Amino acid sequence: MTLADLGQRLNRSVGWLSQVERGLSRPSVEDLRRFAQAFGVPLGLFFGHDAPTEAEKGVIVRAGRRRSLGSSETGLVEELLSPDLGGSFELVRSEFAPGARLEAPSLRPTEEAGYIVAGRFDIEIDGTWHRLAAGDSFRFREKPFRWRNPGQEPAVVVWVISPPVY
């Protein structure tokens, strides 16, 4: 596959792809979803992490060894809290920068729930916006959703997704 072919599939320019290839630009989580789809691989493949010890493999995730995805530049950094993607659900820690937002609604064939650990977090579920704060939680199944951080501080959400999508 050429860069031109890939760019067309991702709706991105060859110049941008070249910058990503050379480490000059960082793709957003949505860009990585498109890469995964284009190559037919799970999104979790793009989570960087340190390998666990043999005794902890598939059971324990140490704070310093979490698989991470995204960057502060994209406004969303996610860490996989689950030891792997082999179970019936995944646990993700998402940190949303002040002002970060998901513009277009997302619809996944999943049941999802979240707990707001810190900050303010707005989530639109099936056309209705909800303003949440630390200690609040939510759940929905196969409904369009989008989110935004209306606050001045990062919003931290622990997200449960079933089945795993990363």
Instruction: Give residue 7's pLDDT.
Output: 85
- Res 117 pLDDT > 90: yes
> Are residues 30 and 63 part of one domain?
no
Q: Which two tokens stand for residue 127?
A: 């056309």
pTM above 0.75, yes or no: no
How far is 164 from 83, CA to CA, in rounded Å?
Answer: 12
> Are residues 61 and 122 part of one domain?
yes
> Are residues 115 and 143 part of one domain?
yes
User: Which amino acid is it at 107?
Assistant: L
> Are residues 81 and 22 part of one domain?
no
Q: Which two tokens stand for residue 75?
A: 């406004």
How far is 7 from 70, CA to CA, in rounded Å?
Answer: 20
> Are residues 97 and 18 part of one domain?
no
Alpha carbon 60 to its chain centroid, in Å, reads 21
Number of folded domains in the chain? 2
Inter-axis angle of helices 14-21 and 3-10, to 10 degrees? 110
> Are residues 7 and 64 part of one domain?
no
User: Are the C-beta atoms of 17 and 3 separated by less than 8 Å?
Assistant: yes
How far is 129 from 146, CA to CA, in rounded Å?
Answer: 9
Instruction: Give residue 72's pLDDT.
Output: 61
> Are residues 88 and 9 part of one domain?
no
Q: What is the pLDDT of residues 13-43, one digit of tens each?
A: 888 888 888 777 777 767 777 887 888 776 6
3-state secondary structure (DSSP) of residue 3 = helix
Domain that holds residue 143: 50-162
Q: Which two tokens stand for residue 153?
A: 């501080």
Cβ neighbour number for residue 93 with a 10 Å cutoff? 17
User: Are the C-beta atoms of 26 and 16 separated by less than 8 Å?
Assistant: no
> Are residues 56 and 31 part of one domain?
no
